[in-house]
Amino acid sequence: DTGVSQDPRHKITKRGQNVTFRCDPISEHNRLYWYRQTLGQGPEFLTYFQNEAQLEKSRLLSDRFSAERPKGSFSTLEIQRTEQGDSAMYLCASSLTGNSPLHFGNGTRLTVT
């Protein structure tokens, strides 16, 4: 068990640019989740996958956000035309089954200038 890994750890981008984050879950976990956390708030759910199927998306996930998990292993989260309000920590988590505890990565901190 090597844990959930996220890349990059930090990303600074200018407003209007596109960014992509990667998440590698624990290998036997078929659920993969994306959350966003801003200062002083708890993690907010964005979306989750069971294998390669995206099963639920939050209303927070605007049209500028897209997530994929093409082979049911790693996942990517892309933000197009970034805005300053997108600045946050983006967390990925995985779990073995639907109600198993989530295992979180260390997150990708996005700063939009």
Q: Would you tell me how many other CB atoms lie within 10 Å of the CB of residue 12?
A: 12
For Cα atoms 44, 46, 47, give the angle at the middle one, nearest 5 degrees. Answer: 140
Q: What are the E-state strand segments in 14-57?
A: 19-24, 31-37, 44-50, 53-57
**Which residue's CB is nearer to other proteins, number 18 or number 41?**
41
- The interface with other proteins within residues 34-93 (CB under 8 A) comprises 35, 40-45, 48, 50, 55-56, 58, 91, 93
**Of 2, 4, 6, 1, nearest in space to 104 by CA:** 4
- The interface with other proteins within residues 3-22 (CB under 8 A) comprises 4
Q: Is 21 exposed, middle or buried (0-12, 13-18, 19+ CB in 10 A)?
A: buried
23 touches other proteins by CB under 8 A: no
Residue 14 tokens, joined: 């200018």
Minimum gap (Å) between residue 10 Cβ and other proteins: 12
Minimum gap (Å) between residue 17 Cβ and other proteins: 26
Minimum gap (Å) between residue 31 Cβ and other proteins: 7
Note the residues at the interface with other proteins (CB under 8 A): 4, 31, 33, 35, 40-45, 48, 50, 55-56, 58, 91, 93, 98-99, 101-107
